[in-house]
Structure 1
Amino acid sequence: MLIEAWLEPAASALALAYLVLAIRERRSCFLVAIASAGLYIVIFWRASLLMESALQWVYIAVSLYGWKQWGSDAGKDRLPVTTKPWRWHLVALASIAVLAGVSGGLLTRYTSAALPFLDATTTIAAVLATWMVARKILENWLYWIAIDLLSIYLYLSRGLDLTAALFAGYVVLAAVGYWQWRKHLANHSV
């Protein structure tokens, strides 16, 4: 199957390109994200990671939203990097836990999903983190570090070694993204 041979490498390459462009605050990152998500819908469905497959549809929708929100790459309509107070993050984390618990329970009861609670946790957290990227909220990168670390195990358990390796790289790039956006925030807060 020729399509099988290139599907995961192509999706991984596009996903990596998306992250590099997002770190650089390039609006085109969202177009690359849409292409990557389209491929990962198929990959995750075939690996019985149902929530991860569904998440790709959310990525496509939020990428369209992010494209609009970010405005141009330069100019006064460019969306600035912002931050949220710790109380906002406590509510966000509690919401992730509740929604992941409910989703994981439903997946366990009604589907053959692999690792349903972990799949649900990474998916629910990724929805929030993706929205945070679209709004240029600095802490999105910290959420991604945690999500990516959990995802490495999830993908290795399903034989998606290339995607697991990509997510190991994502941990490093998310740290870089955090420091880049933090520097941008500090430079533009003066």
Structure 2
Amino acid sequence: NLMGWWRWLHPSPGEEDQKKELRVTRTNAKTLFWLGLTTLVVTACFGLVASKLHTLLPAVFSLPSAFPFLDSFVTVISIAATWLMVQKRVECWAAWLMADVIATYLYFAKGIMFVGIEYFIFCLIAAFGWWNWHQEARKYTV
């Protein structure tokens, strides 16, 4: 996204790597706690709404959602992963991996095999990204 592109190319003083781009860092425990808690609360709210959509808007949603809370979690954790990625935090890849593993399961469970395979490939990419950024962040830890 444009915000991430700008953030990566225009780091604040002291945040740059050798290429003068935003360096890869780790997220502190307090931020991870609040991000995790927010993710769970928003997931619960979205999941509750998603589970009731067929009763709230029956003309649009004739059937109940098969996996309202898992679908909501994938959405919310993906937003959190994007925010972490904009900050170039190692933990973004853990969030992407969680989203991708659950999405892989959901698509296979729904019988959407091609997209399930696609998300399995995303799992591999996220695992490689996590490993790569972990190595990169180690260069800057004291």
Alignment match, 2:22: 79
Confirm or deny that 1:162 pairs with 2:123: no
Structure 1 counterpart of 2:131, one-letter code: W
Alignment match, 1:94: 37
Alignment match, 2:3: 65
**In structure 1, how many angstroms separate the alpha carbons of the residues matched to 2:8 and 2:114?**
30
Structure 1 counterpart of 2:37, one-letter code: A
Give the number of equivalent residue pairs.
126
**In structure 2, how many angstroms separate the alpha carbons of the residues matched to 1:66 and 1:159?**
34
**In structure 2, how many angstroms separate the alpha carbons of the residues matched to 1:173 and 1:150?**
15
Q: CA deviation at 1:157?
A: 2.8
Unmatched tracts of structure 1, length 5 or more = 1-62
Alignment match, 1:151: 103
Q: Deviations over 1:51-90 (max 9, x none)?
A: xxxxxxxxxxxx1211211218x832x1111111223222
**In structure 2, how many angstroms separate the alpha carbons of the residues matched to 1:71 and 1:134?**
11
- Percent identical among aligned pairs is 27
**In structure 2, how many angstroms separate the alpha carbons of the residues matched to 1:103 and 1:68?**
30
Alignment match, 2:125: 173
Alignment match, 2:69: 117
**In structure 2, how many angstroms separate the alpha carbons of the residues matched to 1:136 and 1:174?**
14
Q: Deviations over 1:71-119 (max 9, x none)?
A: 18x832x111111122322222221111111111111112434421111
**In structure 2, how many angstroms separate the alpha carbons of the residues matched to 1:158 and 1:91?**
32
Secondary structure in structure 2 of the residue aligned to 1:79: coil
Unmatched tracts of structure 2, length 5 or more = 11-17, 55-60
Q: Which has the greater radius of gyration?
A: 2
Q: Give matches, 1:1-150, under 5 Å.
A: 63-71=1-9, 75-76=19-20, 78-111=21-54, 112=61, 113-150=65-102
TM-score (structure 1 length as normaliser): 0.60
**CA RMSD of superposed structures (Å):** 1.9
Q: Which has the higher helix share?
A: 1
Secondary structure in structure 1 of the residue aligned to 2:34: helix
Secondary structure in structure 1 of the residue aligned to 2:139: helix
Secondary structure in structure 2 of the residue aligned to 1:69: helix
**In structure 2, how many angstroms separate the alpha carbons of the residues matched to 1:139 and 1:188?**
16
TM-score (structure 2 length as normaliser): 0.78
Secondary structure in structure 1 of the residue aligned to 2:25: coil
